[in-house]
Amino acid sequence: MPPDPPASGKSPAPGNSASHSQEEAPRAAIRPRPKLAVYKFSSCDGCQLSLLNLEDELLDLVGAVEVAYFLEARRQVQPPPYDVGLVEGSISTPEEEDRIRQVRRDCRMLVTIGACATSGGIQALRNWADVGDYVAAVYAQPKYIHTLETATPIASHVFVDFELRGCPVNHGQLSELVSALLVGRKPNIPTHSLCVECKRRGCACLLVAHGEPCLGPITQAGCGALCPAAGRACYGCFGPMEQPNILSLGSRFLADGRSAREVKRALRQFNGYLEPFKQGSDHYERLEQGKH
Amino acid sequence: MSHPTLAIGGTVFLPRSALRDLVTVLRKRGFTVIGPTQVEGVVALRPLTSGQELPRGVRDEQGPGHYRLVPGEPDLSFEYVVGPDSPKRKFFPPVLNLFQFHVDRESFVLDAGPPQVPKLAFLGVRPCELAAIKVQDHVFGADDPRTVRCESETYYCESRRESFLVAVNCTRPGGTCFCASMETGPAAKDGFDLALTELRQGFITAVGSVRGLEICHDLPVREPSGAELELAELKLHIAHEHMGCTLDTQGLKDLLDQSLDHPQWADVAKRCLSCGNCTMVCPTCFCSTVSDSTELAGPKVMRTRRWESCFTHQFSATTAGPVRNTIRGRYRHWLRHKLGTWWDQFGMSGCVGCGRCITWCPVGIDLTAEAAQIRAHSQNSVPPVEEAPV
């Protein structure tokens, strides 16, 4: 159990509506565990797996919250309402469009986890193409496929209380988010560049010392510089940082001899449909086509 | 071994073969020896076990937003200058867990207190880094324990008090160095225990402290010849004349104070990524953020200090939003602090001329060039520029 809130009661856990009148009663009885729901939309399940991969903390998690709806983890389902809903995946089908509205009604607090739910994900690349062409190319019987023209983030459909970035989300950030929600404090999720984390970790700069097209300077921190620490340039899976200066970094890439097409494709990945990356990739697409 | 020059303020000659002995002697005295090591294409500071890890026959090629290691003279050990790391990394760690406690019924129980302070010896500290250490000593209160400011840092002060500094003078400045302009190099004046100047056969070694003198007694040093002393002096003189960058510091603080609306700030804002790299590699930047975290497991709380950058939103966040909400405002704040307002705050320059912020800027913004632009166009009356909308 998390600690009780201070006497002022300023930070109750979500869903804490129980009476405090029974002074002598055990604390567990005063505070029912908040009900957690975990949903999947169009996605690869990686972010839900990140939750299950919390390993050391998993037992603490199920001790602190009541897992009321989490089909990937347990078959048993409790009826809504839920205190916190974690949503993985983008809205890609007509059925999902309806379901997310119901999910919003069922959850007091709705948090998206991962690139798909937050930006539309890799499947949002269809938004620049004709989805019919993709369906025809991939499926033997395209007539059975009912899909939307676009794949869009959850926040394009319903109000979202908090968004956790990453493909997949970072264990530490997920644990921080849940811990913060449980005690009713603001999650400590930085929005600055990845470079800050990368330098703190002491990685050699892949852009400056190796000429790699690293997206770290425009990408939000949170992964702990996972790729740069392994000698791989950041490909922006945590999406754009606060106020990214995409055109300046793009100019550096062009000066290093990379094409506008390469810059466009670097930006149009897991978070390509998230606004600053979307605008940036559109800019380099126009440049690629000779339009300015 | 005793001879007339073996005294504080004196100079001895350390044969090249004894460089490893220096590491051994320091380790025997209980120091963790930190020195330059070639890691993933950069010269980084890492613990040394034998001195064999020191790069040899390596030069660095540095420019705005550019760093490469290239082959150099095979016999020489210090032909490169500073890499992204500086001693700041050890005295003022990027992430430091300050303490952890848990709640037991009605009381707080301390699980882990302040971290243990290491006993560090640095080999290969450059004169600009000595100057940066002097700056941080002042900022964090290590130079005068009676002065306590909000910047004062116990961990820094204690690890500094324990530390031993072997400086290496720069005989081959890098492409972004401007220590000559800042009068911090290329030769170390003070603040070291030992200071080496590399010659082919060995090192002209200046003794700067009692502890430095003690270490020399354990090393096969000899009296340097007149020719060796002259050669070292000549090398340092040539280095002084071959700085990669220059910064005209004449009246710079006043100039910056009068240039708040200079159009150059808007120009640099178009290029600046606000990524914070310059502040992370700067050996004098001292900002940090302290945050508490709770664990899922219940009533456990950890307090952690991390390097912070004035280029982040959070840095100037208030309930009404960030005070410096534009990249223009953030860059201007940083540059003015380094070159100008640091004088108001600490009575010294916040810049030591190491050139790291130029090299490690992903888009190669050069503060000496920005300052020169501001100076070049300050006499002409330039129309003020409005803060660009966000």
Tell me, yes or no, whether A72 and A170 share the same domain. Answer: yes
The pLDDT, as a whole number, for residue A10 is: 39
Beta strand B120-125 with B32-39 is parallel
Tokens of A160: 């979202």
**Percent of residues, chain B, with pLDDT higher than 70:** 95
Residues facing B11 on adjacent strands: B206
Where residue B15 falls among pLDDT bands split at 50, 70, 90? Answer: very high
From A64's Cα to the closest Cα of chain B, the distance in A is: 7
A57 with B313: Cβ contact below 8 A: no
The pLDDT, as a whole number, for residue B389 is: 53
Coil, helix or strand at residue A62: helix
The reply to whether B68 touches chain A by the CB within 8 Å rule is: yes
The pLDDT, as a whole number, for residue B113 is: 81
Tell me, yes or no, whether A209 and A130 share the same domain. Answer: no
Give the domain range for residue B38: 11-94+108-241
B364 with A252: Cβ contact below 8 A: yes
Report whether pLDDT(A7) > 80.
no
The pLDDT, as a whole number, for residue A23 is: 45
Tell me, yes or no, whether A71 and A133 share the same domain. Answer: yes
Cβ-based contacts of B272 with chain A (< 8 Å): 245, 248
Nearest residue in B to A205, CA atom: B360
B272 with A231: Cβ contact below 8 A: no
Where residue A274 falls among pLDDT bands split at 50, 70, 90? Answer: very high
The reply to whether B107 touches chain A by the CB within 8 Å rule is: no
Cβ-based contacts of A246 with chain B (< 8 Å): none
Average pLDDT over residues B244-251: 96
Closest CA relative to residue A37, chosen from A122, A102, A116, A121: A102
State pLDDT tens for residues A113-143: 999 999 999 999 999 999 999 999 999 999 9
Query: Does a structural domain hold residue A3?
Result: no
What is the rounded distance in angstroms from the CA atom of residue A35 to the CA atom of residue A65? 6
Tell me, yes or no, whether A166 and A205 share the same domain. Answer: no
Report whether pLDDT(A5) > 50.
no
The pLDDT, as a whole number, for residue B388 is: 55
Cβ-based contacts of B40 with chain A (< 8 Å): 203-204, 209, 231
Tell me, yes or no, whether A280 and A137 share the same domain. Answer: no
**Percent of residues, chain A, with pLDDT higher than 70:** 89
Where residue A21 falls among pLDDT bands split at 50, 70, 90? Answer: very low
The pLDDT, as a whole number, for residue A62 is: 87
State pLDDT tens for residues B46-91: 999 998 999 999 999 999 999 999 999 999 999 999 999 999 999 9
Tell me, yes or no, whether A158 and A258 share the same domain. Answer: no
Nearest residue in B to A179, CA atom: B296
For residue B146, with 0-12 CB atoms within 10 Å meaning exposed, 13-18 middle and 19 or more buried, which class applies? exposed
Tell me, yes or no, whether B205 and B271 share the same domain. Answer: no
Nearest residue in B to A2, CA atom: B298
Tell me, yes or no, whether A144 and A232 share the same domain. Answer: no
- Contact partners, residue A284, CB within 8 Å, separation at least 6: A250, A260, A261, A263, A264, A267
Tell me, yes or no, whether A37 and A178 share the same domain. Answer: yes
Mutate to test the interface with B, among A195, A227, A252 (most CBs of B within 10 A): A195
The reply to whether B113 touches chain A by the CB within 8 Å rule is: no
A18 in Cβ contact with A30 (< 8 Å): yes
State pLDDT tens for residues A189-222: 999 999 999 999 999 999 999 999 999 999 999 9
- Contact partners, residue A270, CB within 8 Å, separation at least 6: A115, A119, A121, A122, A167, A235, A236, A237, A239
Q: Is B255 left (phi over 0), alpha (psi -120 to 50) or beta?
A: alpha
Query: Does a structural domain hold residue B300?
Result: no
The pLDDT, as a whole number, for residue A6 is: 40
Nearest residue in A to B61, CA atom: A209
**Closest in B67, B270, B314 to A209, CB measured:** B67
Nearest residue in B to A1, CA atom: B298
Cβ-based contacts of B66 with chain A (< 8 Å): 208
Tell me which residue has tokens 């979307």.
A278
The pLDDT, as a whole number, for residue B294 is: 84
Tell me, yes or no, whether A31 and A173 share the same domain. Answer: yes
Domain end point (choices A131, A159, A183) = A183
Number of domains in chain B: 2
Continuous segment of H or E residues that includes residue B241: helix B226-241
Tell me, yes or no, whether A74 and A171 share the same domain. Answer: yes
Tell me, yes or no, whether B36 and B63 share the same domain. Answer: yes
B352 in Cβ contact with B131 (< 8 Å): yes
Average pLDDT over residues B124-147: 93
Where residue A2 falls among pLDDT bands split at 50, 70, 90? Answer: very low
Cβ-based contacts of A84 with chain B (< 8 Å): none
Tell me, yes or no, whether B226 and B343 share the same domain. Answer: no
Tell me, yes or no, whether B134 and B192 share the same domain. Answer: yes
Average pLDDT over residues A264-272: 96
Mutate to test the interface with A, among B46, B68, B296 (most CBs of A within 10 A): B296
**Percent of residues, chain B, with pLDDT higher than 90:** 84
Domain end point (choices A130, A155, A183) = A183
Task: Specify the CATH number for the domain of residue A177.
Answer: 3.40.50.700
Report whether pLDDT(A150) > 50.
yes
- ipTM for the complex shown: 0.93
The pLDDT, as a whole number, for residue A194 is: 98
**Chain B window 334-363: which residues touch A at a Cβ cutoff of 8 Å?**
359-363
Tell me, yes or no, whether B235 and B260 share the same domain. Answer: no
Number of domains in chain A: 2
A57 with B296: Cβ contact below 8 A: yes
Tell me, yes or no, whether A165 and A198 share the same domain. Answer: no
Closest CA relative to residue B388, chosen from B278, B272, B276, B253: B272
Residues facing B289 on adjacent strands: B306
The pLDDT, as a whole number, for residue A58 is: 86
Tell me, yes or no, whether A255 and A123 share the same domain. Answer: no
Report whether pLDDT(B197) > 60.
yes
Query: Does a structural domain hold residue B61?
Result: yes
Give the domain range for residue A238: 194-288
What is the rounded distance in angstroms from the CA atom of residue B386 to the CA atom of residue B390? 12
Domain end point (choices B211, B241, B271) = B241
State pLDDT tens for residues B87-103: 999 999 999 999 999 88
